[in-house]
Structure 1
């Protein structure tokens, strides 16, 4: 089915999706909308149930998560690692529920339960007049955290298209209501235009994108393929790179958003050094709430040597 989707044009006009082939997707979107209207405590409970079901049934994703946790947290014993794997599925299940809030409700209603830390760092970076690259990560609060951020700052976003064009249309339109501009993952011209206007752009580098234009920098002590584009963007535009993150609070419904000081002397002229600094910053944020990261992704898929055995037990496609 994914191959069929990829042959279709990306179109955000809902009238293009009236054919019966889209009805199952529309049904799923309708369910998301209905769930998004429920009280947030109930959504968290429902997300926990969904997360546990996926943990039980999605053996492939559970295996990837187990491998990542074992590699990144060797200091934990087997029981602690297993608990972290389980909790990661719960956190991402809740994140799935929050996706509906981000897409179909007004996040402004959640500002009363949101705490902002270090926004002065962002404001100082913006004063330089060259734009700000918001260095984010794939936390379980991905969409909701991004939506909440726009309640406090103006920002654009770079996104990777959803394989399902209708879901991509809903996602793009929803994000378009929150962000100033929704840029495609490869729209570097659009990115530089935003930075030239002294805009902030949400940008994430913490996934494995293959072997092209990368260096192998440590991430939790493991050499991880890390793109060098961040250095190129900062070098060409003169923008400031400001790390930021967002997490769900455990004690009661609520969220914390963190802005950190812009990276100094960045880029340094050494791609490996820059990538190491970026990975260290993201690792530091993940350790605040280790279960709230997208561990289901094969972060260490690309290995330094093509002949190195893969961590996940399957042949790698590079």
Structure 2
């Protein structure tokens, strides 16, 4: 479990100067008024598209696989809007790391906070299911302002970015847990903590079950949710943050406790969780992280879907 890290003089080494420059530029940018940031983020996303052709192909393929009924024009529109969200995600990361609490609070409203407080009654642990929307970094900051919790994450390979990332995330939350540390997750859940994790990505064949995801019949789905649920007996609910389309900020949506999770059937649990994730994605599909190769792991004998 990782808490707010101490600064090390080693992070001032010349090898990190370019990263320091980028972080400084990001800090300066997010001092702009939010309406300007929204326009700038959209421009950054559109401008980056010609330089991210591989990511565009992945996004287009994911969308076509999940929504086979869409026309080429509809897919193209969704891809364009997805890159707008991608550009905004960079600025939202700076907002999450550098904005003071007062400014963050001004730009979001919350729906369903009572669901979380009810689930935590009598210090019961809560598994908070999230999805990888582009505004995820800012969403973590907002969640912590509503109710400080813990979150699973993958440590960054760059020591400076790891320090900045963890420090930024800890501004309103309790601790970060390496997503591979199942034992620690179970321990804190049993001690009544709320732990955020996102089971919507392809983490490889180890510890995964193939289950339907939108129109894709066999999507590698992590069994981590199933194992955590059985070992901790924690409550389970969803928290999703989406960017409002009218430019007025963000909405954090906390769902009611999900009491019908199939805790005794791994296959059924994977399919059930994918349906929950689908429902959350459909709140704002253009804001989802489609540039991730969600279907890179295939059942034995099946070829890649990204050829």
Q: TM-score range by the shorter chain?
A: over 0.9
1:155 partnered with 2:149: yes
Structure 1 length-normalised TM: 0.91
Deviation (angstroms), 1:128: 5.3
Q: Please give the residue correspondences for 1:131-280 in structure 2 after superposition, counting only pairs within 5 Å.
A: 131-222=125-216, 223-280=218-275
Indicate if the aligned counterparts of 2:243 and 2:249 stay in contact, CA closer than 8 A: yes
Residues 297 and 220 (structure 1 numbering): CA distance in 2 closer, same or farther, change over 3 Å?
same
Q: Secondary structure at the match of 2:145?
A: coil
Structure 2 CA distance for aligned equivalents of residues 17 and 182 of structure 1: 21
Determine which of 36, 61, 70 is the counterpart of 2:55. Answer: 61
Structure 2 CA distance for aligned equivalents of residues 57 and 296 of structure 1: 13
1:89 partnered with 2:49: no
Indicate if the aligned counterparts of 2:68 and 2:215 stay in contact, CA closer than 8 A: no
Deviation (angstroms), 1:59: 0.8
User: Match for residue 112 of structure 2?
Assistant: 118
User: Match for residue 66 of structure 2?
Assistant: 72
Indicate if the aligned counterparts of 1:55 and 1:62 stay in contact, CA closer than 8 A: yes
Determine which of 293, 296, 312 is the counterpart of 2:288. Answer: 293
Q: Which runs of 5+ in 1 are unaligned?
A: 1-10, 314-318
Q: Deviations for 1:35-74, whole angstroms, at most 9, x for unmatched residues? A: 1211111111111111112212211101100101111121
User: Match for residue 99 of structure 2?
Assistant: 105
Structure 2 CA distance for aligned equivalents of residues 137 and 16 of structure 1: 35
Indicate if the aligned counterparts of 2:230 and 2:263 stay in contact, CA closer than 8 A: no
Structure 2 CA distance for aligned equivalents of residues 260 and 304 of structure 1: 33
Number of residue pairs aligned between Structure 1 and Structure 2 = 302
Q: Deviations for 1:1-33, whole angstroms, at most 9, x for unmatched residues? A: xxxxxxxxxx75342212111111111111111
Q: Deviations for 1:141-192, whole angstroms, at most 9, x for unmatched residues? A: 1011111111111211111112222111100111122211111222223322
User: Match for residue 7 of structure 1?
Assistant: none
Indicate if the aligned counterparts of 2:38 and 2:247 stay in contact, CA closer than 8 A: no
Indicate if the aligned counterparts of 2:56 and 2:79 stay in contact, CA closer than 8 A: yes
Structure 2 CA distance for aligned equivalents of residues 69 and 150 of structure 1: 31
Residues 290 and 260 (structure 1 numbering): CA distance in 2 closer, same or farther, change over 3 Å?
same
Structure 2 CA distance for aligned equivalents of residues 60 and 47 of structure 1: 20
Q: Secondary structure at the match of 2:286?
A: helix
Structure 2 CA distance for aligned equivalents of residues 32 and 86 of structure 1: 23
User: Match for residue 4 of structure 1?
Assistant: none
Structure 1 CA distance for aligned equivalents of residues 19 and 148 of structure 2: 31
Q: Which runs of 5+ in 2 are unaligned?
A: none
Structure 1 CA distance for aligned equivalents of residues 102 and 294 of structure 2: 33
Name which of structure 1's ranges 239-248 and 115-124 shifts more when overlaid on structure 2: 115-124
Deviation (angstroms), 1:245: 0.6
Structure 2 CA distance for aligned equivalents of residues 52 and 271 of structure 1: 41
Structure 1 CA distance for aligned equivalents of residues 33 and 260 of structure 2: 46
